[in-house]
Structure 1
């Protein structure tokens, strides 16, 4: 979608983990002719779909998705350079089809590299609209804890076991995903008949507790980076406050109408205005 200055348009959907970026991208992608580019550095890997919260094919509403589960080698180090090379090629492909690229994810270091790196000249080539989906941390944290409990019920321990490897490097590749390092001690003794079953249960319980703590830390770090991009680098992010939606979810109240009014409607209007120049 071209602007009046002949620069193509690109929409970014940013926010801490668990704030609804994927849902918003699908809602917007169903309204505007769009294609979605994953900007989560762990979701680029194949596998760990539960732990990494990859969107299911059945939930994509036919919207093309890119950079999702494309790396098969779990130990491959997908760097910022790899990310930028892939994104730039995909953005060019999408715009050539006459569609709107939507770059969606929480790896803000990768996004900063893409937008700010002088040799890439991304800003000079594309008009950028930055959407920031925000949820107050005191509301978001209990939601993230509950999401991990739901992941446990969905089988994330079995999923992580497939990627367990004694002595594995948890600083690179897909094993950086929160959940893989935390379960290492449990998997080491899981099949050891000399280790008490109660001890094993405590190790698993401790792993889940650390997952929750590390997920909260991740959310805080992502939020700090977003503030830096907005306040120090002048990205002029369009902040959408979804806190009341998440409060409704926590209370077991109807939240879909709140999402429509407080999240989807205003972001739709922002994107429409952006596309009209």
Structure 2
């Protein structure tokens, strides 16, 4: 399961995201925040934290969460955890269809324009770096200025968390959820069936009604362990892609180390999250949005940095 989101519901401020002309540098680009990280690191939690501070709307970039259904398996953020923040491209695609990086690029671009037209900040959030890369690499930077945040957790710590999370997903009914979706001889290379947590149970569903209780329990345990192993492998692949984007493509990515948060409990974990992740992330976004630069808004000259302090004061935890 996801890390618990502790943000209380609140009235979200209506803010103007700077996008106009400067006195010295020509047209300003519209601004977009991108939250990256391996599965289970707290991307959803950070995105909601930031969205409530900076009046943002979230665009999902997880290639499995874009599909409708299997909410437990794909670990979709719940309505309660969204804290009133609008989420887009989440659970909207036919689970039997294929949704490509090109499809994401088209839909995300349309959604960003809609969000900006409402004076809100677009925030792209998810672990599918191939989707993010496909979007950013297609003339994106000619129109948008990007702020990349990376929530990182040391792999041994994340492995332990992933294992516990899968156990909790099973407790919430993951096996029954997949069973209802199960089809013999299904194509696990298409649609939502590619999601980790679906193909691993194929053998179990095939034999569960024909074997004794001990054998059934063993096969189920093996399937659950496969889900854990494959999820950890996915996290490593996602991490490698982030390193490649930084080192080879030269993306400027702000790393937020959440490792210590995962090693604490209760109030200490909450305090560590604010100190190490949410607070520093908000500071990066504030500098990105409200850097001190002279601008013209409707013929009125102003400094872009003047509204940052009141924004941070709107946070509620």
| TM-score after normalising by structure 2 | 0.83
Larger radius of gyration: 2
> Using the alignment, how far apart are the partners of 1:253 and 1:110 within structure 2?
35
> Using the alignment, how far apart are the partners of 1:2 and 1:170 within structure 2?
45
The corresponding residue for 1:183 is 201
Where does the alignment leave 5 or more consecutive residues of structure 1 unmatched?
none
Matches within 5 A, 1:43-122: 43-71=65-93, 73-117=94-138, 121-122=139-140
Give secondary structure in 2 for the equivalent of 1:182.
helix
> Using the alignment, how far apart are the partners of 1:253 and 1:62 within structure 2?
24
Instruction: Report deviation, 1:265.
Output: 0.7
Q: Is the 8 A contact 2:18 2:290 kept in 1?
A: no
Instruction: Report deviation, 1:197.
Output: 2.0
Q: Provide the alpha-carbon RMSD of the alignment.
A: 1.1
> Using the alignment, how far apart are the partners of 1:16 and 1:115 within structure 2?
19
> Using the alignment, how far apart are the partners of 2:62 and 2:18 within structure 1?
26
Task: After the TM superposition, list the runs of 4 or more consecutive aligned residues in structure 1 that deviate by more than 4 angstroms.
Answer: none
Instruction: Report deviation, 1:81.
Output: 0.9
The corresponding residue for 1:138 is 156
Instruction: Report deviation, 1:253.
Output: 7.0
* Cα offsets for 1:55-111 (capped at 9, x unmatched): 11122111110000001x322000011100100000000011100000000000111
The corresponding residue for 1:174 is 192
1:204 aligns with 2:225: no
Q: Is the 8 A contact 1:163 1:175 kept in 2?
A: no
> Using the alignment, how far apart are the partners of 2:257 and 2:80 within structure 1?
28
User: Of residues 156, 160, 163 in structure 1, which corresponds to 2:174?
Assistant: 156
Q: Is the 8 A contact 2:54 2:121 kept in 1?
A: yes
The corresponding residue for 1:10 is 32
Where does the alignment leave 5 or more consecutive residues of structure 2 unmatched?
1-16, 292-317
> Using the alignment, how far apart are the partners of 1:109 and 1:204 within structure 2?
32
**How many residue pairs were aligned?**
269
Q: Is the 8 A contact 1:132 1:238 kept in 2?
A: yes
Q: Is the 8 A contact 1:130 1:238 kept in 2?
A: yes
